[in-house]
Chains A and B, each alone.
Chain A
Amino acid sequence: MIYELKIEDDVPKTVNSFLKQLLESGKVDAVLAMQETPSGKSAFPTMISDPEKLNTNVFAPLLPVSTGAMVSRLTKIKGSDKPLAVVLRACEIRALTELLKLKQADLENIVLIGVDCPGTFPMKTYSNYPGDDDPTEVVLKGESEENMRTACLNCKDPVPETADMIIGIFGADTDKAILLDTRTENGQELVSDMKLSEVATEEDREKAVLEIRNKRDEARKAFIDEHSDIAGVDKLLEFFDTCVNCHNCMKACPICYCRECLFESDVFDVEASKYMAKAKSKGAYKTPTDSLLFHVTRFNHMILSCVECGLCEQACPSDIPLMDIITAIAENAQAEFEYLPGRDPEEEMPMIVYREDEFLDVGEK
C-alpha cells in the first residue's frame, strides 16, 4: 500500500513529524534514526525515545556508520525487549540482512523503515559542504551528483526493498508530498491508526525507480570496465602500496563481524630469525608482511556478502580508492554463485551449504 505524506515545511521535517506520530502512538518505544549532531557538521544514527527530542534528518546525505551494523551491535547478545523502529538506507538493510544470516543480529520487536537513497557525500564533504547550499536539499532535488561517494554513484539498488515500510522520494513531487510504502504486515500495522491517503497511481514511482536503477546500473558497468586493468599480483601490490595496515577498512565494514580479526591475532607473529631468513633469501624484505594478504583474505571472507556501502573506502586514511576494485570483485564473485547479498533474508549464503554439482569446471567431477 503506498500512501502520501503531505509536506510540512520540508522533506526532513515531514519525516520527523511522521516518526514523532509513531513514537507518540506508543507502538514503538524508541526510534533509531539519523539525527544531526549539535555542531550540525554531521549526523549519526541516534536512539530517541522522547518525542520532543526528535530532530531527525533521515535524508542527510552521509553514511558515518552502517545502521545495519549498529542494529547488530545492539541485538547480537540479546534481541530487543521493547518495540523499536529503525530507519535505514538500502545498503544498510542489505548489510543487516547478511548479518542476520550470520546470526549477528536479532529482529525481535524491531520494525525496519527504509528510505529511498539518492546518494551520500563523503563525511569531509558533508561537514564542509561548499557554498551556501544545504546538502540535504541538493540531493533531494537530484541536482548535483559530482561530489557523491563512488559507492553511491554505482549503487546496486538505492531502494530498500525488504524493509517493513519505505519512506519514498523516487516518483514523488517532493515539494508537495513524499511516499509511504508499507511492505509487510508489521509495517501496515504501524500506520493502521494514522489517517493517510493512498496515492492515485503507483506508476510514477515504478517508473522513477526503474529510471534510477538503470542509471546506477549503467554507471556501475562503466565503472567496472574502467578499472578492469587492476589485475594480477603486481597491480594489486601497487594498488595497496600506500596501505598502512591500520585495518580501518575492516573496522568500518558492516560485514566484517568477527570478534577478533585473524590478522589481529598472533597467527602472523614471527620471531626475528624468520624475517632474517626471509631477508637472506630475497635480499630485502618489507614489513609489515601481511598488508596485501590481509586485504585478499578479507575479500575472501566478506565479498559474497559485500553490499557495496563504500564505508571501507571512506575509512581509509591513505585514501586508497577501494571501491575501484571491490565493485568488480563483488559483482563477479556474487554472479558466480547467482547470489545477491541482502536480496532475501531466506536465501542461503553460498559456500556454507555443501553442493555436489558446484563449480564443476574448476573442480573434479
Chain B
Amino acid sequence: MVMITIDSKEYEAIPGETVLDVAKRNNVFIPTLCHHPSVEPYSACRLCVVGVTQKGWTKVTASCSLLIKEGMEIKTSSPRIDRSRKILMELYLARCPESSELKEVASKLGVDSSRFKTYTEPNEKCILCGLCVNVCEQVMGVGAIGFANRGAAREVIPPFQEHSDVCTTCGACAFVCPTQCIDLSEISTQTPEPLLSDYDAGLAERKAVHIPFPQAIPNVPIIDKDACMYALNGTCKSCENFCEPEAILYDQEDEDININIGSVILSPGADVYEPPEGDSLGYGLYPNVLTSLEFERMLSASGPFQGHIKRLSDGEEPKKIAWLQCIGSRDESCDHKYCSSVCCMYSIKEAVIAKEHLPGLDTHIYFMDMRTFGKDFERYYERAEDEYGVVFRRSRVPRIEQNRETGELSVRYINDNGDVEIESYDMVVLAVGMQPCDTLPDLASIVNVNLNGYGFIEVDPYYNVETSRSGIYASGSATEPKDIPESVIEASAAAAIAARDIKDARGSEVTTKEYPRERDVSNEFPRTGVFLCHCGINIGGIIDIQKVKEYVQRLPYVALADDETFSCSQDSLERIKERINELGLNRIVVASCTPRTHEPLFQDTLREAGLNPHLFEMVNLRDQNSWVHRDNPVLATEKAKETVAMGVVRVNEMRAVSHEKFPVVQKALVIGGGISGMSSAIALSDQGFDVYLIEREEELGGLSRDVHLGIGDEDPQKLLEEMISKTTEHENISLYTGAILEDIDGYVGNYTSRISHEGTTETIEHGAVVVATGGEAYEPTEYSYEDSENIITQKEFEKDLASGKKYLGDLKEVVMIQCVGSRNDEHPYCSRICCSNAIKNAVRLKENNPDVSVYVLYRDIRTYGFKEDSLYRKARGKGVFFIKFDENEEPQVDLKKGKITVQTKDKILQRDMILNPDKLVLSVGVVPGENTALAQQLKVPLNSDGFYSEAHMKLRPVEFSADGIFLCGLAHSPRFMDEAIAQARAASSRAATILSKEYLETGGSVANIASRRCAGCKLCVNICPYDALDYDEEKRIVIVNEILCQGCGACAAICPSGTAQQNSFTKRQIMSMIDECIR
C-alpha cells in the first residue's frame, strides 16, 4: 500500500494503479474523455492533466497514464491546469461544435464557446481519441478499424474505407465512444442485430450481461453465452474490470445435480401466441400493430417507455386504439380451437388503464363473445363500458390496412345492423392467446406424462392437477389456458397432493441452527455500532462515506462507526460479530441497501453474536439515496448523514423483543360437506391432520348431487360416491351430518367450537377453519317457469337426460334460455357454468335424438378453455342453433293451452323469431347460500353479491384476511366441480402451513397496550384490520392478541394517549427521529 496526496488529502493506493484510478475510486473529479477501464490508457484526450510535484519539481501531465509513487503530490486544479484543459476543450468544440456530450463536459469546465474556427464537416462528432480503435484491437482482438491520413484529414475508418468483413458487429466501439459518433453500418459488411429484451417483449434492447427480469430469483445478472464475445471467441472480458467483488465466473458450466424427491409438480406455464408476421393483420409489417403483451410492457411504469403510450412509428401519443380479440384463440387456422380464457379480461384492463394514462383516448374492443366469467369480472366489464367509456363491438376483424402516409390503421367490421363499416386507429392491439410452451413435449417425454390433443399436459377431468402418471402433478396454464387466480389455486392444490405423497418425510431434512444465549442489555446505556456500506461503487460512488462516518461518530452513544466495501460479505459479517464482542456493542445500525432483502441476514449476525435481533436498524443508503440522487452527490451525502443519524436515535431506543410461542391444535374444522368440503377434508387428512367435517344436511354431496353428466364420458355421480365413501371411511375425519356450528371462539392455531349434532352439543378444538358452505341454484320466477311442466331448469333436464326419460326421443324442438338469474340487476355476476352445462345437455340430446331442433338463446357464450372446442364447436357441428339476444330485449315466453311460444329478436337476421318448443329449458345461475350468519360468527367479509371475499383475488385466493380461516368452492364463487376440487385442495394446502407447525410465534414488532393507561375507548379495536384487539368487557380495556397482530401500527396511530404503541416503532422513537432530521 502506497500513500499519495491529491489536493492536500492523503489517499491509499495500490502499486500499479494510475493517479486517475485512485482519484476515480475516491470520487475526486478529473475530467476525461478517452479513459475506459477496459482499455490501456492512451493519453489521447489530455483533459485529465494534473499537476505532479516530486522533489520540488512540478510538471503537468496526463493522470490516466501516470503510475503512482509513494509520496506523490497531485493537484487536480490550478490556473495552469485549468487553462490547459480549457484550450483543449475549445479545440474539441471547434472540431465538433454539435456534440452534446462535448458540450456537457465543456460546461463542467466553464467553457461555453470556442475561439477557434471550425475546419471539419458541420456534423463531425469524432474527437479522434482512438478509444474505439483500441477497444477493437486490444480488447476484442479484431482490429476492424484504424486511423487513416494525417493532420486535419485524420479519421477512423475500416481499411481502405471499405466495409469490413472482419468486424463482428459486437458494438464495443460504439459502446466506448465518448461522443457516440459510431454507426456500425458504416463499418461492417454485416447488419448488426440488436439484442432484444424478452421481458420487454422486444420493445427494448438489453446487454449480453443482464438480469432477465426484475423479479428473477436469484436477482443477479446472467451472461448470455450466445451474445457474450468471450463465450463466442474468447475476447473482451470487459465486465470483470467493473465487478469489484470479482464475482464473474466465465467458465461456469451447466452441471448435473441429483436430488431425491417424492413427488414432482410441473408448472412450466404456456407460451404467448405469436401472430404470423405479414399476414392480413399486418403484425410485423405495420409498426403500430402490437401484441397485447407488447402493449402491456408499454403500459408498465417499469417498461421500456416508463409507462408512456406512444406509437412505435413516430413516438406520437395515440388518440384511438383498437383491441382485436381471439388472436390465436378459437381459431382453426392456427390449430388453436380452444379459448385462451384470459384475453377478454386483460384487454378490458389494458383499455381502462390506457384511458387513465391518456385522458380523452378512445378505446374500442372487437370481440366475438365477451368472456368475463371470473369472480367480480362481470362488474369490471360493466364499469369499463359505463364508467370508463370503453366501446365494445361484437365483430371479428379479418384484416387491418395501413395508410402509408399517415400510418393510420383501418379496421373493417360489421356493425349491429349487419353493415360493413371502416374505422381508423392510431394503434391496434392484438389480444393474443396462449399456446403450449415449445419445450413442453420434451419435458413431457422426460417425465413421461401424456399431452392432450391441444398439446397441453393431460389431466384428470375432476382432479385437474393429476397427470397421467401418479406422483407427477401439474398446475397452471401448462394444463389449459387460465388466469392468475386459477393458476395460484391450482399451484396450492398440486402442493397439497404432492405433500400427501411425502407426508411422512415432512420436516425430516430441517436442521435447526444453534445460537449463543442472548445477552441482557436492558440495564446498559446504548453502545451503538454503525456499519456503513459502500456497496462497491453503488453507494460509495455517490455518497462520501468518509464524511458520513465522521458525522456519525460524533453522535451520542455511538461507540463505533466503520465502513466496508460490502457489509453483507461473509468476512464483513464476521467483523461485525468481532466488533460486537470486542467493544461490547449493544445496538447495531447497518447503513446499506434495503431491509427487504438484507435485514434477516444482519439480524442473524446479531443473534450469532448473542444480541437480540431487534436491537438493530437498517438505513437504506442505496435504493433511497445513491440510486436516486446520482446527480447530486453533495446533497446525497447530507441526506445520508441525516438518515443514518435517524437510524442511530431509533436504534438507541430499541428494546429486546422476545417472540412468544403459542401451541397449535393440529386439527382442522371443515364447514360444509359438498364436493369442496369433502375434497378439502380428504386432502387435509391425507396430509396427516385430523379433520372435523360438519354438514348441515343429513346427506353429503350438496349441489353435486344434481350433476349427472360430465363433459366427456366421466361420471360425476361415480366421483361423488367415491368421495363420500372415502370421507366416511377415512380414519382422520370425524364426520358430523345434520350438524350446526353453534359458536366459534379463539384465533389461528387455537379455536374452540361448539357443534350441535343429533340433539347434543359437542365442543371441539382445532387450529384452522375451511369454509366450504357452497351455494345454491337460482329458483326462477321468470319465463313462466312455475306455470308449465314443460318449462324446466337445466338441472331437471340433465336428470331426465341421464336417466334416459322416454319423452326425450319424441322431442321435436327444444329451446334453452341462458343467463336466467345471472348478469341482471339482482345478480350482476356471471355464473360461469351455465353456458357449458346447457351446451353439454344440448349435445347429449342431439346425440340421442339427432332429429330434434335445439335452440340456445344466449347473450355471450362463455365456453372458456377447451370447452370452446369440446362443447361449443361440437354443438355447432351437431346442428345446435345459437341465437343471441340483447340484455335489453330478453326473449318473451307465452303459454297458451299448454303450448309454449318463445319470441326473440335475432340480431343477425334483424327480425323476430317465433319458436314453439316442446320443452323450454332455463339455464339458471348459481346464487350464494345463506352466508351472513356464518360470516358474522367467523368475522369474515362477504362481497356485494353475497359470496365470501378472499384476502386477495390473485395472491391469496383461498384465504381470508383473518389468519387461520380459508375458503373454497361455491362459497367463493360459481365454478365447475374440477375447479371446486382444486380450490378445496388449495385451501387444505394453505391450512396445512399452519397445522404442520407445533407452535406459532408472535411477530416482533407487535402492538403493545399499556393496560394501566387504557381508557377503553375502542378506537383501536374498530380500526384494526386483523381483528387482533379484544375489548375486555369487565375491565373495560383493550388487550392485544399478539398472534393475530401483524404490526401495521393502525392502533398506535389512532390512540390519542399513546397507550397503544408498536414495539420497535414507539412514539419516543418516532419523535427522536423527527427531531433528528429537522434539527
Q: Does any Cβ of A come within 8 Å of B1025's Cβ?
A: yes
Q: How far is the CA of A267 from the CA of B1058 in the complex (A)?
A: 9
Hey, which chain B residues are within 8 Å of A353, CB to CB?
Answer: 1022
Q: Does any Cβ of A come within 8 Å of B954's Cβ?
A: no
Q: A104-B1017, A278-B1079 are in contact. Are A261 and B1036 (CB under 8 A)?
A: no
Hey, which chain A residues are within 8 Å of B1023, CB to CB?
Answer: 352, 354
Q: How far is the CA of A270 from the CA of B1075 in the complex (A)?
A: 10
Chain A: number of interface residues, binned into ranges: 20 to 34
Q: Does any Cβ of A come within 8 Å of B823's Cβ?
A: no
- Asked whether B1067 lies within 8 Å of A267 as measured between CB atoms, the reply is yes
The stretch that binds B, out of A157-165, A169-177, A252-260, is: A252-260
Q: Does any Cβ of A come within 8 Å of B1019's Cβ?
A: yes
Q: How far is the CA of A270 from the CA of B1079 in the complex (A)?
A: 14
Residue of A whose beta carbon sits closest to that of B1057: A258
Q: A103-B1036, A104-B1015 are in contact. Are A262 and B1057 (CB under 8 A)?
A: yes
Cβ-defined partner of B1056 (8 Å) among A76, A273, A301: A301
Q: Does any Cβ of B come within 8 Å of A203's Cβ?
A: no
- Asked whether A102 lies within 8 Å of B1058 as measured between CB atoms, the reply is no
Q: How far is the CA of A270 from the CA of B1069 in the complex (A)?
A: 11
Q: Count contacts on B: residues with CB < 8 A to the other chain.
A: 24
Q: Does any Cβ of B come within 8 Å of A359's Cβ?
A: no
Q: Which of A265-296 contact B (CB under 8 A)?
A: 265-268, 270-271, 273-274, 277-278, 281-282
Hey, which chain B residues are within 8 Å of A302, CB to CB?
Answer: 1056
- Asked whether B1015 lies within 8 Å of A258 as measured between CB atoms, the reply is yes
Q: How far is the CA of A76 from the CA of B1068 in the complex (A)?
A: 29
Residue from B1012, B1058, B1059 whose CB has the most chain A CB atoms within 10 Å:
B1058
Q: Which of B976-1034 contact A (CB under 8 A)?
A: 1012-1019, 1022-1023, 1025
Hey, which chain A residues are within 8 Å of B1022, CB to CB?
Answer: 352-353
Residue of B whose beta carbon sits closest to that of A101: B1017
- Asked whether A266 lies within 8 Å of B1068 as measured between CB atoms, the reply is yes
- Asked whether A259 lies within 8 Å of B1014 as measured between CB atoms, the reply is yes
- Asked whether B1058 lies within 8 Å of A257 as measured between CB atoms, the reply is no
Hey, which chain A residues are within 8 Å of B1018, CB to CB?
Answer: 102-103
- Asked whether B1025 lies within 8 Å of A351 as measured between CB atoms, the reply is no
Hey, which chain A residues are within 8 Å of B418, CB to CB?
Answer: none
Q: Which of A316-348 contact B (CB under 8 A)?
A: none
Q: How far is the CA of A271 from the CA of B652 in the complex (A)?
A: 13
Q: How far is the CA of A353 from the CA of B1054 in the complex (A)?
A: 11
B290: min CB distance to chain A, Å: 27
Hey, which chain A residues are within 8 Å of B1056, CB to CB?
Answer: 258, 262, 301-302
Q: How far is the CA of A282 from the CA of B1079 in the complex (A)?
A: 8
Q: A103-B1018, A267-B1067 are in contact. Are A274 and B1075 (CB under 8 A)?
A: yes
Hey, which chain B residues are within 8 Å of A200, CB to CB?
Answer: none
Q: A102-B1019, A259-B1015, A352-B1023 are in contact. Are A271 and B1058 (CB under 8 A)?
A: no
Q: Does any Cβ of A come within 8 Å of B234's Cβ?
A: no
Q: Which of B180-237 contact A (CB under 8 A)?
A: none
Hey, which chain B residues are within 8 Å of A278, CB to CB?
Answer: 1075, 1079
Residue of A whose beta carbon sits closest to that of B645: A277
Q: Does any Cβ of A come within 8 Å of B1072's Cβ?
A: yes
Hey, which chain B residues are within 8 Å of A260, CB to CB?
Answer: 1013, 1057, 1059
Chain B proximity mask over A73-105: 1 for CB below 8 Å, otherwise 0: 000110000000000000000000000001110
Q: How far is the CA of A315 from the CA of B1014 in the complex (A)?
A: 26
Q: How far is the CA of A104 from the CA of B1019 in the complex (A)?
A: 12
Q: Does any Cβ of A come within 8 Å of B895's Cβ?
A: no
Hey, which chain A residues are within 8 Å of B1067, CB to CB?
Answer: 262, 267
Q: Which of A18-76 contact B (CB under 8 A)?
A: 76
Chain B proximity mask over A350-361: 1 for CB below 8 Å, otherwise 0: 011110000000
A359: min CB distance to chain B, Å: 16
Cβ-defined partner of A267 (8 Å) among B556, B1036, B1068: B1068
Residue from B1016, B1018, B1054 whose CB has the most chain A CB atoms within 10 Å:
B1016
A364: min CB distance to chain B, Å: 13
- Asked whether A257 lies within 8 Å of B556 as measured between CB atoms, the reply is no
Hey, which chain A residues are within 8 Å of B1071, CB to CB?
Answer: 267-268
Q: How far is the CA of A32 from the CA of B55 in the complex (A)?
A: 100
Hey, which chain A residues are within 8 Å of B1079, CB to CB?
Answer: 277-278, 281-282
Residue of A whose beta carbon sits closest to that of B1035: A77
Q: How far is the CA of A302 from the CA of B1057 in the complex (A)?
A: 11
A312: min CB distance to chain B, Å: 16
Hey, which chain A residues are within 8 Å of B1012, CB to CB?
Answer: 259
Residue of A whose beta carbon sits closest to that of B1067: A267
- Asked whether B1013 lies within 8 Å of A257 as measured between CB atoms, the reply is no
A52: min CB distance to chain B, Å: 36
Q: How far is the CA of A274 from the CA of B1013 in the complex (A)?
A: 28
Cβ-defined partner of B1015 (8 Å) among A257, A273, A274: A257
B638: min CB distance to chain A, Å: 13
Residue of B whose beta carbon sits closest to that of A260: B1013
Residue of B whose beta carbon sits closest to that of A267: B1067
Chain A proximity mask over B1049-1079: 1 for CB below 8 Å, otherwise 0: 0000010111100000001100110010001
Residue of B whose beta carbon sits closest to that of A255: B1056
Residue of A whose beta carbon sits closest to that of B1058: A262
A347: min CB distance to chain B, Å: 14
Q: How far is the CA of A120 from the CA of B1025 in the complex (A)?
A: 45
Q: Which of A205-256 contact B (CB under 8 A)?
A: none
- Asked whether A352 lies within 8 Å of B1054 as measured between CB atoms, the reply is yes
Q: A102-B1017, A103-B1017, A267-B1067 are in contact. Are A351 and B1036 (CB under 8 A)?
A: no
Residue of A whose beta carbon sits closest to that of B1020: A352
Q: How far is the CA of A103 from the CA of B1056 in the complex (A)?
A: 14
Cβ-defined partner of B1019 (8 Å) among A261, A262, A273, A352: A352
- Asked whether A257 lies within 8 Å of B1054 as measured between CB atoms, the reply is no
B118: min CB distance to chain A, Å: 53
Residue of A whose beta carbon sits closest to that of B556: A273
Residue from B1014, B1017, B1023 whose CB has the most chain A CB atoms within 10 Å:
B1017
Q: How far is the CA of A196 from the CA of B170 in the complex (A)?
A: 106
Q: How far is the CA of A265 from the CA of B1058 in the complex (A)?
A: 8
Hey, which chain A residues are within 8 Å of B1017, CB to CB?
Answer: 102-104, 257
Residue of B whose beta carbon sits closest to that of A269: B1068
Q: How far is the CA of A265 from the CA of B1057 in the complex (A)?
A: 9
- Asked whether B1016 lies within 8 Å of A103 as measured between CB atoms, the reply is yes
Q: How far is the CA of A274 from the CA of B556 in the complex (A)?
A: 9
Residue of B whose beta carbon sits closest to that of A282: B1079
Hey, which chain B residues are within 8 Å of A268, CB to CB?
Answer: 1071
Residue of A whose beta carbon sits closest to that of B1031: A103
Residue of A whose beta carbon sits closest to that of B649: A274
Q: How far is the CA of A311 from the CA of B1067 in the complex (A)?
A: 29
- Asked whether A259 lies within 8 Å of B1057 as measured between CB atoms, the reply is yes
Hey, which chain A residues are within 8 Å of B1072, CB to CB?
Answer: 270, 274
Q: How far is the CA of A260 from the CA of B1018 in the complex (A)?
A: 16
Hey, which chain B residues are within 8 Å of A266, CB to CB?
Answer: 1068
- Asked whether A351 lies within 8 Å of B1054 as measured between CB atoms, the reply is yes
B757: min CB distance to chain A, Å: 38
Hey, which chain B residues are within 8 Å of A261, CB to CB?
Answer: 1057
- Asked whether B1075 lies within 8 Å of A76 as measured between CB atoms, the reply is no
Q: How far is the CA of A104 from the CA of B1014 in the complex (A)?
A: 11
Q: How far is the CA of A261 from the CA of B1056 in the complex (A)?
A: 8
- Asked whether A77 lies within 8 Å of B1075 as measured between CB atoms, the reply is no
Q: How far is the CA of A260 from the CA of B1010 in the complex (A)?
A: 11
Hey, which chain B residues are within 8 Å of A352, CB to CB?
Answer: 1019, 1022-1023, 1054
Query: 4 extra interchain contacts, Cβ-Cβ under 8 A, other than A257-B1017, A274-B556, A274-B1072?
Result: A258-B1056, A260-B1059, A261-B1057, A354-B1023
Q: What are 7 A-B contacts with C-beta separation under 8 Å?
A: A102-B1015, A104-B1016, A104-B1017, A257-B1017, A259-B1057, A260-B1057, A278-B1079
B residues with CB within 8 A of A: 556, 1012-1019, 1022-1023, 1025, 1036, 1054, 1056-1059, 1067-1068, 1071-1072, 1075, 1079
Closest 5 CB pairs of A and B: A258-B1057, A301-B1056, A262-B1058, A102-B1017, A267-B1067
A residues with CB within 8 A of B: 76-77, 102-104, 257-262, 265-268, 270-271, 273-274, 277-278, 281-282, 301-302, 351-354
